Amino acid sequence: MPAPRDSKLGTHHIAPNYEKVPDWGASEGHASSWRPALLRMLNERDPERLARAARALEDALFNRYYEIGTAVRQHDWAIERIEMSHAAKLLRGVLMDKLQYGDRRMAERS
């Protein structure tokens, strides 16, 4: 079955696998603030708090990506960058699937 087509972007949207959470012990950046933010977002059920958790994760991912982008030895952070990519896919899935960001029907209700 083909993926649903996102009429706004003209692309196919494939829902992420919410079971695939980044491997916490694989990278060197154990103190990264995006990991707890990811778990808070995935465990949240209330739509208002879920939206706040998603925004917090987005901020944390952006800040951490900037931090490791300015690191002296960038190759040391390759594993964490892969994990962050998976976290960003989960974030996109929550925004589109659970919070219906970008959905015209939601915009019409407002």
Q: Mean pLDDT throughout 1-23?
A: 51
DSSP tally for the chain: helices H, then strands E? 4, 2
Distance CA 97, CA 29 (A): 29
Selected residue with higher pLDDT from 69 and 50: 50
Per the CB < 8 A criterion, the answer to whether 40 and 56 are in contact is: yes
For the chain, percent of residues with pLDDT exceeding 70: 60
Per the CB < 8 A criterion, the answer to whether 93 and 15 are in contact is: yes
Per the CB < 8 A criterion, the answer to whether 54 and 38 are in contact is: no
Cβ neighbors of 74 (< 8 A, separation 6 or more) are 68
Q: Any idea which residue has 């982008």 for tokens?
A: 69
pLDDT above 70 (res 11): no
pLDDT above 50 (res 1): no
Evaluate if pTM is beyond 0.75: no
For the chain, percent of residues with pLDDT exceeding 90: 43
Computed from CA positions of residues 81, 83, 5, 3, in that sequence, does the dihedral angle turn out positive or negative? positive
Distance CA 42, CA 97 (A): 13
Residue type present at position 89: K
Residues 77-94 have pLDDT tens digits of 788 888 999 999 999 999
